[in-house]
Chains A and B, each alone.
Chain A
Amino acid sequence: MQLGVRPVAISVDTPAMSRDLCAKAGYTYTFLSDPNAEVIRRYDLVHRGAGPNGQDIARPAEYLLDASGTIRWLNLTEDYRVRARPEQIIEQAKALH
């Protein structure tokens, strides 16, 4: 965030669930709720039936957009244990200037 990039987290969790998560973990950035996975579907990130009750959820992904909304970098993991590391994202964010 010091680099001027605004982080936004999106999942199928409801606003209430995200609020709890933020409170527990001390996150201060924007958390958005997509309970019907509509935006997740539009971004083609649906992982069908992978939620605990069989719901559709998002597969993990990070999209870095520049100020015009153009995608400058994206990371789709093949293994959901392995996510983008902060160093990778910082490097990409620096290239946005």
Chain B
Amino acid sequence: MKRRWNWHLWVGFLFCVAAFVSYLFVFARFPVTRDIPWVNFLLFAVAGALLVVGLQRAFGHPQQYRGKISGPILGALSLLALGFFCYIVFYMTRQLPPPSAALRVGQKAPEFVLPDTNNNPVALSSLLSSPMPGSQTPPIGVLLVFYRGYW
């Protein structure tokens, strides 16, 4: 009898790829799904369940289902994808230098002058004292956002 296509294996693998790729392109944009990538872990879990069923069918019922070779390969690739994802999320993005004690709450922020997007020099003191666009009064505070760049 012709053996059936073991779709669990392939769909499971697809879920795995989706779990990985969707983080980069979709879920990393929203803090609620970025900080702890629960949606992606859910997708990996679904992938895992499908792969387990697929492997059970391939090895438990080899007369009915194919996949004794593709199954382990897809399973291994999926584990690799999960492993790499965990490496990025739990290790790589935490590789930051230890937090410094150089500047603390209560200290004066050091003055500086840096060019803005039009190459005009801007001093911190002027940011604190000059009126905000669209208002007559200077700001009640300044939020300095340091970011990695290269977006």
Q: Which of A6, A48, A50 has the most CB of B within 10 A?
A: A6
* Interface pair A58/B89, CB less than 8 Å apart: no
* Interface pair A59/B141, CB less than 8 Å apart: no
B118: chain A residues at CB < 8 Å are: 15, 19
Give the secondary structure class of A's interface.
mixed
A19 CA / B104 CA spacing, docked (Å): 31
Output the least CB separation between A48 and chain B (Å): 7
Cross-interface CB contact of A60 among B103, B140, B146, B150, cutoff 8 Å: B146
Output the least CB separation between B77 and chain A (Å): 24
B139: chain A residues at CB < 8 Å are: 4-6, 67
Give the secondary structure class of B's interface.
loop
* Interface pair A30/B122, CB less than 8 Å apart: yes
A contact residues, range = 35 or more
B151: chain A residues at CB < 8 Å are: 21
* Interface pair A39/B103, CB less than 8 Å apart: no
B138: chain A residues at CB < 8 Å are: 67
Q: How many A-B residue pairs have CB under 8 A?
A: 195
* Interface pair A48/B144, CB less than 8 Å apart: no
If the complex has contacts A30-B116, A32-B115, are A80 and B93 also in contact, measured as CB distance less than 8 A?
A: yes
- Residues of B in contact (CB 8 Å), total 51
* Interface pair A59/B148, CB less than 8 Å apart: yes
A85: chain B residues at CB < 8 Å are: 31
Q: For window 99-115 of chain B, which residues contact chain A by CB distance below 8 Å?
A: 99-100, 102-112, 114-115
Q: For window 128-151 of chain B, which residues contact chain A by CB distance below 8 Å?
A: 128, 132-133, 135, 137-151
* Interface pair A5/B93, CB less than 8 Å apart: no
Contact with B along A27-44 (1 / 0, CB 8 A): 010111110001110111
Q: Which of A34, A57, A65 has the most CB of B within 10 A?
A: A65
A52 CA / B14 CA spacing, docked (Å): 30
**Shortest Cβ-Cβ A-B pairs, 10 listed:** A44-B102, A11-B149, A44-B100, A6-B139, A32-B114, A4-B140, A58-B146, A13-B149, A19-B117, A63-B144
Q: Which residues of A contact B (CB under 8 A)?
A: 1, 3-13, 15-19, 21-22, 28, 30-34, 38-40, 42-48, 50-52, 57-74, 76-83, 85, 89, 93, 96-97
